[in-house]
Structure 1
């Protein structure tokens, strides 16, 4: 029983073999998947997938790298789509200081607008953070994101930062990097973060776990994330699967 809380099955990388990818996920025990749309094209595809597959849900938002492209019309469109019963979160949103396509002030403005929207439509948020931890935390606090809560997607920070996020009503989601040999911080977080605040994800087609690193990622590989967490905590993979699936269903409001 596994729940991939962050997948991009709406990516072009799955155009030729999506059905096979989904079947493999099922074989690995993946029960539910949240597909994340982060611009016009990927949001539209995510909405198509939730109509096609009973066990797929959508999160819709605007990625910080593309913040400069987002219009008020886009925001209103996300607002309208958010009423769909299988849209379970707003995001991914946040800040990305690695790429310089969108100026920092524009990223911050778009981030704040999406938090306000999430509070308006009463949905939790999914956070993308790359090289911007201090500013991400400051905005989450100043904009009252605690009200809706959220996920720190593909978390790679320290256990101290993780606990700060949990105090703000956030869950910590771990992906493929936790399986990497030299991933000191993710392994510490996997071992120490409270189980009731832990989620697992693939972020596929990116961040493929060991032993498939360098190849295309897919939801079935979330099992390797669960196995690594189980090893680090000294519990069974079934326990990790059960608890993280329970956490995800509670977070997304899926019965």
Structure 2
């Protein structure tokens, strides 16, 4: 098992992911128990399959259909530990084939765009956030709430119990960026066992088309303003989103079962 800080400029920032390398997938209950024991936003399970790899992701409480930061971390594990020097890795997943490329000292991951649709702002969402968004959209699974300023995003203290009662599995808040950033965001998903995710690749599969539709741009520098914080480069390429960032290794070891 490896623990890697993904989308991290230095250790103890970005989003920590566990990457467990197996010769075959274990029973779902065992993998879920391992993810719960790790108690990270996601644990990725990786199995070699010829020149490609199979990949699944678990939060502490549920298997998920897509996890960007843990896929980036899995790519770093393959390129730096399992097959040193490898420049790209293809992962076969429930969300299709995902490719991680080495780019200089960092990595890029190619992910599917999430369709974003405007929706009326539910009163329960404003109550959970403690303020009314300027506009609200959904990517199907999450609400996306645009707030007035980057400061509002950074200082937000949502009612997580109320967020968990919403009719979506999570809430992304976002605003025009400050400093070097084009936009900032945070992601809350207590229903999935993640009160606040430090840096979320999947959320940016919706945030990039969301901001592209409002700016006419296709490239961005983004910051997820959690306590740990993380930076991402973002490109919209047709129906794909390419996210870039660095990975820092924190822990390597073995699991006893």
TM bin, normalised by shorter chain, reads under 0.3
The structure whose residues are more often strand, as a share, is 2
- TM-score, normalised with respect to structure 1: 0.27
- TM-score, normalised with respect to structure 2: 0.27
Question: Which structure is larger by alpha-carbon Rg, 1 or 2?
Answer: 2
The structure whose residues are more often helix, as a share, is 1
